[in-house]
Amino acid sequence: MKKIAVFTSGGDSPGMNACIRAVVRTGIYHGLDVYGIMSGYEGMINGDIIPLDSSSVSGIIQRGGTILKSARSKRFMTPEGRKQAYDNLKKHGIDGIVAIGGDGTFKGASVFMEEYPDVPFIGLPGTIDNDLIGTDFTIGYDTAINTVVEAVDKLRDTAASHDRLFFVEVMGKDAGFIALRSGVAVGAEAILVPETETHIDKLINLLDKGWRKNKKSSIIIVAEGDDEGGAYEIAAKVKEKFDHYDTRVTVLGHIQRGGNPTCSDRVLASKMGYEAVKALVEGRKSEMVGVVDKKVTYTPFENAIKHTTKLESSLLELAEILSM
């Protein structure tokens, strides 16, 4: 192996730049030429592949987003698009790929390697959702939940000042990891996630109990994929039957993806980037690098997909008890 490439794909997450930095410098340490593929699989198809050296990744460890840009590629879903991507990789002499992204990124890599097994891929979990099997935490998750906590702490101040009920919507179409952990951290009165069924009457009963105890402000954390709908829909349903509060809705949206990565995300991303290059050098492929119980793990792409990791039931119970 003489040349490797790294790219970021799907939604950006804080820590991706730290990961890119680690891949580049570890590759150089092992005597490899390192390239960056711009805009994920789309850049692979377009041949937008650039050489990276140590100075190319100076001063980026603290930056959010990704210097290599990110995009979703419909063309890569076609055999013709993958063939064009393969031709560009061979044109540049690329012997291995480090793919930073989520399950969509890994699914694309798996299909590609079935057709072109001579280009091995190693994956790194770059997603704020923390919804991949094979790692305790994904790159960007810690920063995202801290962003939520900071925002909700500020909302709590104004909620208390005006006796308001705030419904705060956080990211999580299919998984409630952001909602659950940040909800516990901010002392939310209720946390609504896709993994559990939401009962509006139960939520109203909880709010009513708080109201009778003279609790004049409350925070409800809602994952965007909750079965009863997003924050606006749920707030409307609650207000229809329970209008004691002055109700407000805040959707944090893509602010959760931005910002400087936390110390935890910088260290995790650096460690994973280092391990990914080692894995390629050792001849591994079709695996995602993760860290479980502080130990490096390798999970086949087909297993490292979302919808399979379960929420911590103890945290759900804890949130309910502490909201009393």
User: Residue ranges per domain, the chain?
Assistant: 3-140+261-300, 141-257
The answer to whether 129 is a known catalytic residue is: yes
Collapsed DSSP state (helix, strand, coil) of residue 72: coil
pLDDT tens digit string along 170-210? Answer: 999 888 999 999 999 999 999 999 988 899 999 999 888 87
Residue 212 has what pLDDT? Answer: 78
User: Tell me, which fold does domain 141-257 have in CATH?
Assistant: Rossmann fold (3.40.50)
β-partners of residue 287 are: 122, 300
For 27-36, b/e burial (b = at least 16 CB within 10 A) is bbeeebbbbb
Residue 310 has what pLDDT? Answer: 74
- Which one of 12, 129, 226, 265 is the catalytic residue? 129
Residue 217 has what pLDDT? Answer: 79
Residue 29 has what pLDDT? Answer: 97
Q: How far apart are CA 244 and CA 129, in angstroms?
A: 34
Residue 280 has what pLDDT? Answer: 97
Please choose, from the candidates 26, 50, 55, the residue with its C-alpha nearest in 3D space to the C-alpha of residue 38: 50
Question: Which CATH number is 3-140+261-300 given?
Answer: 3.40.50.450
Q: Are 8 and 48 in contact (CB under 8 A)?
A: no
Q: Are 302 and 121 in contact (CB under 8 A)?
A: no
Assess whether the region 3-140+261-300 and the region 141-257 belong to the same CATH fold. yes
Residue 306 has what pLDDT? Answer: 59
- pTM for the model stands at 0.93
Q: How far apart are CA 202 and CA 199, in angstroms?
A: 5
For residue 291, what is the enclosing H or E element? strand 287-292
Q: Could you give the maximum distance between any two Cα atoms of the chain, in Å? A: 71
- Residues in the chain with pLDDT values less than 50: none
Collapsed DSSP state (helix, strand, coil) of residue 177: helix
Residue 232 has what pLDDT? Answer: 96
pLDDT tens digit string along 251-264? Answer: 999 999 999 999 99
